[in-house]
Amino acid sequence: MAKLLLLSNGHGEDLSGALLGKTLLNLGHQLEALPLVGHGHAYTEAGIKILGQAKAFSTGGLGYTSLRGRLTELLQGQVFYLLRRLGRLLQVADHYDLLVVIGDVIPVMAAWLSCRPVAIYLVAYSSHYEGRLRLPWPCGSCLKSKRFLGVYSRDELTATDLTAQLQRPVSFLGNPFMDPVLTPQAPLPSCRYRLGLLPGSRLPELEHNLLLLLAMVENLPEQLLACDEISLDLALVPALDDSSLAQLVAQKGWQMQPGIGNATRTKLVLGQRHITLQRNCFIAVLQSSDLLISMAGTATEQAVGLAKPVLQLPGMGPQFTAAFAEAQRRLLGPTVFCAGGKPGEALNLQNTAKLTLELLKRSQADPDLQQQCQKQALQRLGVAGGGQRLAQAITNMLTERHQ
């Protein structure tokens, strides 16, 4: 089989690359990865070797979303780091039979400059944003090149659009990042309504997002939470450990309450309000929740792909800003909601709490919303097995090329 290099530029892209990479490994290929942004932990966890010493930055590679982010990236040296990573690619590219790109214009340009054969999964671009995808220069010219043997999109609309624009076949085979969450998991304990809280995964933004979520919860009726009518479940990544979490929430008067007896899960408590802390249960939270309140990127996409309604709570960034949230709604469709008011202000928190109660009831009682969720899940994300189909398509392409 072939020797492949996975090239990605972001947390979500690394996740998709690692999931696709595991399937390619199972098909017998040799793999290494070159993440251009961040540590690439998803690759390490998948058993895929990372080239060189990877480094993470506070913007998470999302500095382009604001002037402050761009300045932060410059001060932290991210631009020079990226140039070094690209230089490393050009040094080693000849050692690989194929570059597999997961990302956007930067890895597309880098792969084209390497003069090696390329397959690309365009997870970062969609025609759902504007109706017609406007590829940044020189992305379109690169994708038309014969060096790009296969181009795969993240949804059917984009595949149709780019096939016409590029005058070459662009295929939609599914999204690898949906495969884990579409695999059934043991559900969380049953309850009347379950509300999943997704604060994101990047520090320090995660901490700011979590405090905003707690402030929103304080606007929910205390008597409703006291009678266990609603179960609140916080999906939290290991980056924020229990000690740091306890200090963080104490700033706002919340306390951590260790699990006792049958209630083995740690809770965050303020008066009669309590939130169950769910570690290593991210997929179960997604699958078991009636509604997700999200301040995340890929996790929101996964929730929509599971046919769940999502309510956004925009924060101060660098990722989950009001602008990012608005773009996300265009990408994912009408089952992603957002309350009015400026991010972080009392009006937005109050409106979000009010809309939370409305959507929780509709999630179980409104067949139109349920049907819309199912429709958007298929249109925007597709069905399970995307990773296997992409890996097989790449394998078939390599086989045909060497015949």
Task: Write out pLDDT tens, residues 354-396.
Answer: 999 999 999 999 999 999 999 999 999 999 999 999 999 999 9
pLDDT of residue 83: 86
Cis peptide before 138 (omega within 30 of 0): yes
Mean pLDDT of all residues in 203-218: 96
Q: Is 385 exposed, middle or buried (0-12, 13-18, 19+ CB in 10 A)?
A: middle
Question: Which of the 8 DSSP states describes residue 39?
Answer: -
Q: What residues does CATH 3.40.50.2000 cover in the chain?
A: 3-180+384-401, 193-380
Global pTM exceeds 0.85: yes
Position with higher pLDDT, 87 vs 125: 125
Closest CA to 63 of 53, 82, 78: 78
pLDDT tens digits for 156-195? Answer: 999 999 999 999 999 999 999 999 999 999 999 999 999 9
Plot region of 167 (φ>0 → left; ψ -120 to 50 → alpha; else → beta) = left
pLDDT of residue 401: 83
Domain 193-380: which CATH class? alpha beta
Res. 76: pLDDT tops 60: no
pLDDT of residue 62: 44
pLDDT tens digits for 230-276? Answer: 999 999 999 899 999 999 999 999 999 987 655 578 999 999 999 99
Domain 3-180+384-401: which CATH class? alpha beta
